[in-house]
Every structure is written in structure tokens, then in C-alpha cells.
Structure 1
Amino acid sequence: MSAHKGRQNSGKTDFNRGFRGAFRFSARAVQLVWSTSRALTIGLALLTLIAGLLPAGIAWVGAQIVDSVVDTARAVQVDPATSLVPLFWLVALECLLVVAMAAAQRGISFCQSLLRAQLGQRVNVMILEKALTLDLSHFEDSEFYDKLTRARREASSRPLSLVNRTFGLAQNLIALSSYAVLLISFSPWAMAVLLLAGLPAFMAEAKFSGDAFTLFRWRSPETRMQLYLETVLAREDGAKEVKLFGLGPMLLDRYRSIFHKLYSADRRLTLRRDSWGLGLGLIGTLTLYGAYAWIAFTTVMGRITLGQMTMYFMLFRQGQSSVSAILSSIGGMYEDNLYLSTLYEYLETPVRASSGTAVKGADHSDGIRFENVSFTYPGSETAALIDINLHIRPGESLALVGQNGSGKTTLIKLLTRLYSPDSGRILLDGTDLEEWDETALRRRIGVIFQDFARYQMRVGENVGAGDVSNFEDEALWREASEKGMASEFIDKLPDGYNTQLGKWFNDGRELSGGQWQKIALARAFMRSQADILVLDEPTAAMDAEAEATIFEHFRAMSKNRIVILISHRFSTVRMADQIIVIQEGRIIEHGSHAELVQQEGHYAHLFSLQAKGYQ
């Protein structure tokens, strides 16, 4: 309950802050639309101006037609042919204005439709471009995912909505100004009545827009959980366990319960919003009919003509619609600004500045050094690595041994600059990693993580992903696949390297776990210039014979390179030149296989346990 109240209080703070700066993103939204398509933006502005001026002209011509009918009825008995001509011209003029109004509205719809498509793409690209600049820590932060979810759900449509409302506001202001010129001749109080009648409903709408936004921010975690449950229930990578363990009904019930929780909040807000809207909207209706009575009385008293009465009736009705539209546009702009804040909050997420410029180290023969390196993940109270010291020279191999969660993969994340150490330093070729250009550094490293990606793309593209500069190079695909021992089964696939993998698209083929790992190995070998190879459980899905073949082949291909291996299989680990044993983030043993077995410590104990399993 306290967390729920905390989120509600946070939402109220956001609302108050948003109300004070309700329109702070309007200029940025207009600039965004302008930069998306200047031609469409100018066309939309001109058509809006025309659509704003035409209604008053139509009302004025309508009044002239009514008065002309009265005058013509008297004159037609004297000269029928001549007296009807002005009336027909007025009717033709009103028809022309109505056609122009319809054309302007159609043009506005056309411009908005094209801008909506272009702008939706533009904003989504901005969101994805920002994602490419973020650190791994952002993607491992639940609050960041809430921020990203809000940006992707609403913000892509809000800039155009804000600009449309801005143009709509301008159109209705122009129309209202033209109405005012005509209404003032009836009474200076007429415009005041129109404006004041719409204010109560506007204030209520602005209040409930803020409440809706508060609700939107508060329920981001629940919305994200719904999306996750949809993924688990409806994707092939979760389908096996969902069916085998009978998880479907339970997860679906959880999905429904989240919906009912969100729906209840929506229902309460909708009931309050519509109840207040109905009550306050009656004020505007009563005002309109009060104005009608006022105009009718003035006509009966002979102060205005029948045509003027018709015109004022029309002006009051359209004027009230314009006032309502103006206030609605302002309320909508306020709401759009609130939602746009989620987009710019995401786009302005601080990014760690990379100041490194080095593309080569001071001493290429020095290899990799970890000097007193410690690291704790953001938000965690337990250190993942503590005072790590190690040195790997070119041509050497290092194996990391330890329980899951001991810090082995974290060490690799630091080496590849996905994170930076809290203390100590890491050097490559005698130069601190902080001084390296990140692109140049990562070009030196070929990595296979145990949770490597399985891209729903062609086989060749899955291999080519290891070197984006040679992504479409089929010759390199084949060479890397030979090194990764994947070419044998790839050649047997229906379309070879052009076979679609995964089940998301037509004719997709699914591979076994061992085959996917060979694809991942080939991907690492795509980086022909990489002289550091990092393999995190690279053969976990392979049988022992395949693993032995892979590593014999791998050792032959890895001369003059630094190889870092993480594995739980000691038949593989023992091939490394040096082995370190990590426990709870610390190095507790360090040496060759023979040295560690002779020490009869933790490594020797684990080795003997695994050896017994084969006896």
C-alpha cells in the first residue's frame, strides 16, 4: 500500500509540475513537425487559415440571402427576371464558399494523414537511436524500462496531435475573431457570454487530463508486465514450458487480474470525467438558448432584420462551437505536453560521455591486465567483483571457473566496456581501457556470451552479425562458419546460408541448441581482426565429443590470440594456460591445471567431483 501511495503522490507532483509548465514542449513539437516535412507543415498552416475565415463568410452570405428573399418577394411582382438575379448570385457565392470549405477540410485531413505517417516513423527512429547510445546499465534498470514503455506507447503520436491542436486552435481563433466582428454589431456583450459559458467545462477537462496522465505514469510497471505475459504466452521460446508445466491458465489469470485492476481505475476516472462534463456542459447549452431568446426578442422588437436574426443564430451556434473547440484544443495541448514529457524525459536520459580516443596501446606485447579491480552493479549492495588482479599475454589462454553468480561474466562485461570498474583499472596493451576509443576496443574482441542472440534472420546474417562492416559478405560467412565448425550442417539446410532461421517468419527453420552455439562461434570468428576471443559457456548445448572437437579446432585457430574461456567442463578448462577460480567476486586460486590439482584446493575438489561422474 505504501508503494502504491508513493506512486500516486509522485504522480500528483508530476501533475502540478506539468500544470505550471503545461506548454513547455509545444515549441519543440512544432519544430519536430516542421523538420519532418516543411511542405506539409506550410500546406497545413495555409489550409487552416482558409478554413478559419470561411465560416464567417458563409454566415454573412446566408444573412444576405434571407434578406434578399424578403426583398425579392416584394420586387418579383414588378420585374421577375431582373429581381431574381442578385438572389441567384448570392446562392452561387455561398455554394462556392461551402465547396471551398469542404476542400480546405479535406486538404487538412490529407496533410495530417501524411504527417502522421512520417512523424510516427521519425519519433520511433529517435527512440531507437537513443537506445543505441545508452549503457547496458540502463537496460538492466526497471525504472528505465518504465520510462521507455511510456515513451513508446504514447509519445510517437503526441507531437502531431499537439501540432494539429495548435493549428486547430489557430483556425478557431481566426473563426471566432471573424464572428466577433459581426456579433459586436449586435451587442458588445455577446462575445463575453460566449467565452464565459465554456470556461467551467474547460477547467474540468484540464483537471481530468492531468488525472489521466497521473494514472498513465503510475501503471507503467503493470502495463509492462502485461506485455511480458503476452510475450511468454504467445511466443515459441516460451510455448514449450508453458504447455509442459501447465502455466497457461495461471499466467492468463494473472494477465486478466492486471487488466481488471487497470480497468477499475479507468472506469472510476471515466465516470467522474463524464459526470462533470455533462453537468458543466449544460451551462453552455442553457447559454446558447438564452442567446436565441435574446436574438428572437430583438427581432420581434424590430431592431434587426430577419436575415440578421438568422445570421446571429448561426454565429452564436458556431461561435459556441469555436469557443468549445478552442478550450478543448488548449486542454488537449496541455494533455499532449504531459505525454510529450515522457518522450523528452527518455530522450534526455543522461549518457556516459566516452572521452577515450586511443586506437592502439602503448605496448602490444603486454596483453590484458586487471589491477585491483572492484565493481558493484547499480542498485546492488553486494559487490560482483572484489580486488581482481590478473595478467594475460598475447598467445595465452585463460579459463574462469566458479559457481554461477560468482562474477565470471561480470569480468567480461568490464573488459568489453559494457561497464566501468568502480575502482582499480583494466589495461589493454599497456593503455587504460578508459583511454581507448570504444569502437576500436570492441573491434579487437570477439565475444560469445552464454545468452547469445538468436536472430530471426537468414543463417548468413546470423553469422555476419559478428562484423557489421562485412555483414553481407558471403565469402566471410563461409570462412567464419568453417572456423566455428558450423559449415557442415549449414550446407545441408534447404537454402544454405540464405535459410531463414526462427519461427517468426515464413519458411523459418529452428536449429538445435548445439547448432545455434556453432552459429554463435562462427559469429565470433567473423571478426578476423579480433585478437581477443572470449567464450562464455560456448559449448554448453553440445555433447562431449562435439565439444572436444570444437576446442581442438579452436586451439589451432587461436594462435597468437588471447583466449578467455568460461566453462563448467574441466575437460575444456584444463586446456587453458592459466586458470583462475572465482568465488563471491574474489579470485581464490590461480595457476595451471596441474598446479591447481596439486594444491588440492577448491579447483581440485570440483575436478574430482566431475571426474567421478565419468567413472
Structure 2
Amino acid sequence: MPYSPSSASPFNRFFSVFRYSRRALFLVWETSRWMMLGLALCTLVAGVLPAVAAYVGQLIVDGVLAAMESYEAARQPDVWVTLMPVLGLVALEGAIIALMALAQRGLSAQQSLLRALLGQKVNVMILEKAGTLSLSQFEDSELYDQLTRARREASTRPLALVNKTFGLLQNAISLGSFAFLLVQFSPWALLILVVGALPVFFSEAKFSGDAFRLFRWRSPQTRMQMYLETVLAREDSIKEVKLFGLESRFLQRYRDIFHQLYGEDRRLTLRRESWGFVLGLLGTLTFYAAYGWVVVETVIGALTLGQMTMYLMVFKQGQSALSASLTAVSGMYEDNLYLSNLYEYLEQPTEADAGHVTQGAVQGDGLRFEQVSFAYPGGHDVLHDISLHIPPGSSLALVGENGSGKTTLIKLLTRLYRPTRGRILLDGSDLNDWDTQTLRARVGVIFQDFVRYQLSVGENLGVGDIAAFDDQQRWQQAAKDGLADGFIARMPDGYHTQLGRWFKNGQELSGGQWQKIALSRAYMRKEADILVLDEPTAAMDAAAEADVFARFRDHSRDKMTILISHRFSTVRSADHIIVIDQGRIIERGTHDTLMETNGRYAALFRLQAEGYQ
């Protein structure tokens, strides 16, 4: 359940956030059990040894004083006999310090390695989750905000939380050791230790919560900054930015967002550090009060010089350990808050894919839409009562203005969307009952806004059928079917030529060449018996368009084909034509019957024909 403020008490709200700690620990355990055990061992060593070093330090000071007295009392002293016990203690303390340094190095090394492993694991979890989300969820701005928050912070927070957990354990062990020594001096010393550290802790916890709430609130502004960075630094947008003179305006908007966010950060940072300094003075005062107390006890003879040295060291280190412990708890609180972003995203509900059908109930029936309507969440219908039938071996053309719902209909066919009402049947079985992989293997699509992958030519084709991603013979056949083989043969490395400008030696293609790559990609699906072309030749010249559709007709004789185009010269050859207006079918028929009807289709056809005269 994601973090959210409630009417609960501040105490309960504070500790309720720590529910993510167990999940973070388990996540690190899954990432590397051996390194987590190594962290635990190094933490134990680093926690116990400081108190041992302080105790040995006391023995050294008292041993030195005893050796001095023995040396002065003896008439013919053997200095080495006198010093050997003390030098042994010095060597022991040196070994303890070396072991402490080794433990700290071990902690640092394992934390560094875990940071890389865990960052990769969490990013993979985020991307795997993205693969389970529906297209409509991706089109939701709220989900984009969640994704932005998860990717910007949550990939580093699990390890930070685990490091603080082990740091807290280390300091707790040290505190236990220090407390055992301090209580022999006075139980009141422990109280002074705690009182000096608590104010800073409460201050840090309060400001950590403020920082997190500020982070969540401004996710849209952060996402706008990222978008402006993309627009100002990508080759597919920079030409318009330069042509229209948008650099200064977009850069100023980028600066304005930064200054707004910086102003909020500045105010929070100044308040946080100011209060931290003021409250930190209380800790300093308590230390020097205890310092004076120990000095007085030593002067009156209640403590030896060695004990005074030990208690001052223990109190100072104990105060540092307690302060570090409370800071770690405050940091864990903050890390838990940010981890709520990760799990809020990972726990997004996904549509259950219960489909299992691999063969339709009525073989050869083709594709049917039965009174299908669709609306985006919280919006009105964009498709209304769509009914149509495409038997195998026939072609359907969709005609209509931009925004009339043509591409939405295709997204319903490919089950990227699900109908709000009505149903879609393939070979007599509801589309929702089909196994997803089986269904999508039967569909070859080229969308108008197809992706221009920054990959090699062959891989740009191979994405059309992941099972044949590296099959060079399939690349060549698909390129031949899509009429892309001609210009590919002239490229420096043929099918291994890098496309796009993102990587070294990348080759950029014209719009028409990219469309032939996308068309060839659709031909990679040899098993597909439903072919969908959404404005497949918009960037091609007339001769190339004629060649493409001649090849397409030969390739699709026994398949169900759907064509979306604003060019009526390509539409007229379809077996059936549907005219869509504002999500409704207003005309249907062949080219000849629609021309005889003299409705919207005939008017648009004549209008376009006049442009060629």
C-alpha cells in the first residue's frame, strides 16, 4: 500500500513507513546472499572493536603510569622488562585498529559492488513491470509520474536503506559496548548521552518527510524538464527547434522550472541545516558537561588517569554512535518514503491475461466486430457501435478524418485496448479468450508512428518477429517483400549497417526508406494472416507507392488485410471500404457503390482527384 498521509498520529505515521525495510532487505538478499552475509560480519566486527580499543587504551595509560612508578622506584631497572606489558598492549591496540580498518574497507567494497548489482536489479524490475502494463496505463499521466519517481530515486534507495540498517546495527553494537563501560561510571551518563542526540534526530525526521512530500508534489515539473532536455538535444526534434527559433523559449522554460525547484530546495535546505546546527549545539553542550564531570571525578581521585581517558573517549564515541544511529533511523525513514515510490509503481494493477485459446471455435470465419464501443478511462466514447466482418482473403479500407477513431480500432484488434462494450471475434472466439502470443503472432502491423530503432538494419527488421530476430535469410526475404532490399544493398555494411544518429557511424534514412523498413518488418511475420497497414506510404513518392501496393496485393491474397490511408488511389482497390466519422461508421461498401451513393466518400474522392488535375 503506497505511502499517504492520514489522520493517524505522527508517531504511528512515522513508524508505519518502515514497512518497506523488510522488503528492501529481502531484495538485497536476493541480489547477493554472500555479500549480505559479508556486510553482516564486517558490521559486527566494526561495531564491537571500538569499545575494545577504548578499553585497551585505558590499560595502556594505566600501564604507562605503573611502569613509570616502577622505573622510578627501582635502583637498577631493566627498562624492557618494565615496558614489555605496555608494548604488548600497544601492539594489541594496533592490531585492533588494523582489523577495524579492514572491516571498514570490507563494508565499503561490498557496498560498492552491491550498489551496481542492486541498481541493475531494480531497474530491470521497473522495466519488467512496464512490460505488463496496458497501453491505456502508459497513456495515463499519473502513471508516468510514478514511473519518473521510481526511476529517479528508487533504484538507489534499497541499498541505501540496507547500508543504513547495517550501520544502525553496527552503531547499536558499539553503543551496547560503550553503555557497558559507561554504566560503571554512572547510569546518569547514559541519560546525558541520549538527551544530547534526540533533538537533532527529531529535526532530521521532520525535514526528511518535508523533502519527500516536496519530491512527490513536483513530479510533473521534473518530467517537463526531462521532456525539454529531450526536445533540445534529440536529432528528431532539433531541426524544428532550430527552424522555428524555439531554443531560447524552451531553454528559458527549462531555466524557470529549475529556479522554481531550486528555490524550494534552497528554502528547505536552509531550514534543515539551521535547525540542525542549533539543535546540534545541545549535543556539544552535553558532551562538555560530561567532560567536566569526568575531569572533576579524576581530580578528586575517584578515577585513574587511564579511566578518565577511556570514559572521555567512550562518551565522545558513544555520542557519535548514538547520533549516527538516530541519523540512520531518520535516513531509513526517508529511504522508506522513497521506496514507497518504487512499490507504488510495481504494485500497479495489471489486467489478468487469462486467454488460452490457440485455435478459433469457427475456423475460417475471420474477424468480426460486434457493436464495439471504446472510451478512455474517465472520457466519452471515441468509437460507437462498430460492427464489421473481414473474412480470410478479403481486404478492408478505413477512411476518415484524423481523430475519427481509425487507429483506435486497430489497437482494439491487436488487443492493446479492450472494448468498453461489445466484442471482437477471431475465428468465432472472443479476442479476450485468445492466448496473447498466439494472437499477436497472427497479426502483422505497421503503425503510422512506427518506431525507428537505433539498431542495425537487420535488427530493425528482426524486431518484427522476435523468433527470427537474428535470421539473416528472413531479413533478406522481408526486405525484398517490403522493397527495401535495393537501398540496403547500397549501404556500407548492408544489413549490419547501424541506423540513426545516436551511435557511431550511424546512417540516417529518408522518410520513405524508413517506411519501407517498417513495411519489411511487418513482412517478417510469415505466420501472420491479419495484415494492418496504417498510412504505410505517406512518405513515399507515387512510383514507390504503386510498387509497394502491387507487392502487397500479391502477398496478401489469402489473408485478412486492413488498410488505413488518406490516398484514395490505394483505397479504391479494397474489397470493402468503411467511412468513419467521429467514431461512427457512416458509410460502407465497395468503391463503385460508394461513388454511386454520392456521399462523404464520393465527395472526398472527387476533392482529392481534382488536386491531381
* Shared fold (TM-score, shorter chain, > 0.5): yes
Deviations 1:574-604 (A, max 9, x none): 0100000000000000000000001000000
Specify which of 495, 503, 509 is matched with residue 497 of structure 1.
495
**Cα deviation, residue 608, structure 1:** 0.3
Specify which of 75, 78, 99 is matched with residue 70 of structure 2.
75
Specify which of 476, 483, 486 is matched with residue 485 of structure 1.
483
Asked if 1 retains the 8 angstrom alpha-carbon contact of 2:5 and 2:13, the reply is no
Specify which of 442, 445, 449 is matched with residue 444 of structure 1.
442
Asked if 2 retains the 8 angstrom alpha-carbon contact of 1:63 and 1:310, the reply is yes
Asked if 2 retains the 8 angstrom alpha-carbon contact of 1:14 and 1:214, the reply is no
| 1:105 counterpart residue number | 104
| 1:311 counterpart residue number | 310
| 2:134 counterpart residue number | 135
| 2:58 counterpart residue number | 63
For 1:191 and 1:485, how far apart are their aligned partners in 2?
A: 83
Deviations 1:483-533 (A, max 9, x none): 111101111101000000000000000000000000000000000000000
Asked if 2 retains the 8 angstrom alpha-carbon contact of 1:173 and 1:326, the reply is yes
| 2:31 counterpart residue number | 36
Residue 21 (structure 2) pairs with residue 22 (structure 1): no
| 1:547 counterpart residue number | 545
Asked if 2 retains the 8 angstrom alpha-carbon contact of 1:72 and 1:83, the reply is yes
**Cα deviation, residue 81, structure 1:** 2.5
For 1:493 and 1:18, how far apart are their aligned partners in 2?
A: 63
**Cα deviation, residue 12, structure 1:** 8.2
| 1:458 counterpart residue number | 456
Specify which of 380, 389, 402 is matched with residue 400 of structure 2.
402
For 1:269 and 1:467, how far apart are their aligned partners in 2?
A: 52
| 1:264 counterpart residue number | 263
Asked if 1 retains the 8 angstrom alpha-carbon contact of 2:367 and 2:389, the reply is yes
Secondary structure of 2:527's counterpart equals coil
For 1:18 and 1:226, how far apart are their aligned partners in 2?
A: 32
Asked if 1 retains the 8 angstrom alpha-carbon contact of 2:294 and 2:312, the reply is yes
For 1:599 and 1:492, how far apart are their aligned partners in 2?
A: 49
Deviations 1:432-477 (A, max 9, x none): 1011111110000000000000000000000010000110000000
Specify which of 596, 599, 608 is matched with residue 598 of structure 1.
596
- Write out the 4+ residue segments of structure 1 that deviate beyond 3 Å after TM superposition: 9-18
Comparing 187-196 with 496-505, which one deviates more in the overlay?
187-196
| 2:522 counterpart residue number | 524
Asked if 1 retains the 8 angstrom alpha-carbon contact of 2:366 and 2:427, the reply is yes
**Cα deviation, residue 14, structure 1:** 11
Comparing 359-368 with 281-290, which one deviates more in the overlay?
359-368
RMSD value, Cα: 1.3
Q: Counterpart of 1:205 in structure 2: which amino acid?
A: E
Deviations 1:527-548 (A, max 9, x none): 0000000000000000112111
1:36 and 1:10, CA in 2 relative to 1: closer, same or farther beyond 3 A?
Answer: closer
| 1:561 counterpart residue number | 559
For 1:322 and 1:478, how far apart are their aligned partners in 2?
A: 67
**Cα deviation, residue 197, structure 1:** 1.2
Residue 48 (structure 2) pairs with residue 49 (structure 1): no
1:13 and 1:420, CA in 2 relative to 1: closer, same or farther beyond 3 A?
Answer: farther
Asked if 1 retains the 8 angstrom alpha-carbon contact of 2:398 and 2:564, the reply is yes
| 2:230 counterpart residue number | 231
For 1:202 and 1:481, how far apart are their aligned partners in 2?
A: 66
| 1:419 counterpart residue number | 417
**Cα deviation, residue 87, structure 1:** 1.0
**Cα deviation, residue 18, structure 1:** 5.2
Secondary structure of 2:186's counterpart equals coil
| 1:3 counterpart residue number | none
Secondary structure of 1:340's counterpart equals helix
For 2:463 and 2:7, how far apart are their aligned partners in 1?
A: 45
Q: Counterpart of 1:435 in structure 2: which amino acid?
A: D
Deviations 1:254-281 (A, max 9, x none): 0000000101110110111111101100
For 2:282 and 2:119, how far apart are their aligned partners in 1?
A: 38
**Cα deviation, residue 19, structure 1:** 2.3
| 1:167 counterpart residue number | 166
- TM-score for both structures, normalised by structure 1: 0.97
For 2:293 and 2:330, how far apart are their aligned partners in 1?
A: 30
1:277 and 1:410, CA in 2 relative to 1: closer, same or farther beyond 3 A?
Answer: same
| 2:575 counterpart residue number | 577
Secondary structure of 2:185's counterpart equals coil
Aligned pairs (5 A) from 1:107-506? 107-380=106-379, 382-506=380-504
Q: Counterpart of 2:152 in structure 1: which amino acid?
A: R
**Cα deviation, residue 557, structure 1:** 1.1
Asked if 2 retains the 8 angstrom alpha-carbon contact of 1:11 and 1:214, the reply is no
Q: When the two structures are aligned, how many residues end up with a matched partner?
A: 606
For 1:177 and 1:357, how far apart are their aligned partners in 2?
A: 60
Asked if 2 retains the 8 angstrom alpha-carbon contact of 1:392 and 1:398, the reply is yes
**Cα deviation, residue 363, structure 1:** 1.7
Q: Counterpart of 1:242 in structure 2: which amino acid?
A: V
1:402 and 1:14, CA in 2 relative to 1: closer, same or farther beyond 3 A?
Answer: farther
Q: Counterpart of 2:341 in structure 1: which amino acid?
A: T
